[in-house]
Chains A and B, each alone.
Chain A
């Protein structure tokens, strides 16, 4: 069975602080995909990144970076110099290559105050 755990329910930071959102996953598959999505207060789900299981390179996109470690089954997300607009719920998700079913974690609510 597949499972995604986001242990941090809510994180509060002050603007310009760096913040890391944790994601731990479980799967028996050797090939799979990991995702991060952002859900701002407006409700839409914004795609941030997809990572293949065979690509362990870390990725940086502006203030966002992702650390994928197969050895610990983790796919953590760091926001550098956080901004108020980063306030949202962030979901980590896992999908295998067979059934294409996306399994979500419970989400981490990030509050960035000025």
Chain B
């Protein structure tokens, strides 16, 4: 497996502000993803973070609202912009390791509350 860290682990933010979440992995990865889990719901893919290029967004998610960077193989950031209470969720980073058997692992998540 791998050690995946996310910062911050949780935050409470005001409406209209932005928050950047960091994801760091201690192993080489082939793929990195960002997921959202709204309260009591399942996980939904926001985007695939591509190294050195623009992320690939899923339907319903746009770059202006959720800008993503991935400057190298093991680090990515997700920004939640112009937040509203509907953005209150757990945001999870997920990776597929270069080594290994196509397992997909998740970070501990960032629990965001927007007031």
By a CB distance below 8 angstroms, the chain A residues around B83 are none
Instruction: Give which listed residue, B90, B102, B106, B109, contacts A50 with CB less than 8 A.
Output: B102
Q: Mark A76-114, 1 if CB is under 8 A from B, else 0.
A: 000000000000000100010000111111110000000
Instruction: Give CA–CA (A37, B104) in the complex, Å.
Output: 10
Tell which of A11-19, A22-30, A39-47, A66-74 binds the partner. A39-47
A-B CB contacts (within 8 Å), total count:
47
Instruction: State whether A35 and B104 are in contact (beta carbons under 8 Å apart), knowing that A45-B92, A102-B33, A104-B43 are contacts in the complex.
Output: yes
Dominant SS among interface residues on chain A: strand
By a CB distance below 8 angstroms, the chain B residues around A35 are 104
Q: Is the CB of A101 within 8 A of B45?
A: yes
Q: Is the CB of A44 within 8 A of B42?
A: no
Q: Is the CB of A33 within 8 A of B102?
A: yes
Instruction: Give which listed residue, B33, B90, B94, B103, contacts A43 with CB less than 8 A.
Output: B90
Q: Mark B73-115, 1 if CB is under 8 A from A, else 0.
A: 0000000000000000010101010000111111111010000
By a CB distance below 8 angstroms, the chain B residues around A45 are 43, 92, 106, 109
Q: Is the CB of B43 within 8 A of A47?
A: no
Q: Is the CB of B42 within 8 A of A106?
A: yes
Instruction: Give CA–CA (A104, B42) in the complex, Å.
Output: 7
By a CB distance below 8 angstroms, the chain A residues around B90 are 43
Q: Is the CB of B101 within 8 A of A50?
A: yes
> What is A's interface to B at a CB cutoff of 8 Å?
33, 35, 37, 43-45, 47, 50, 91, 95, 100-107
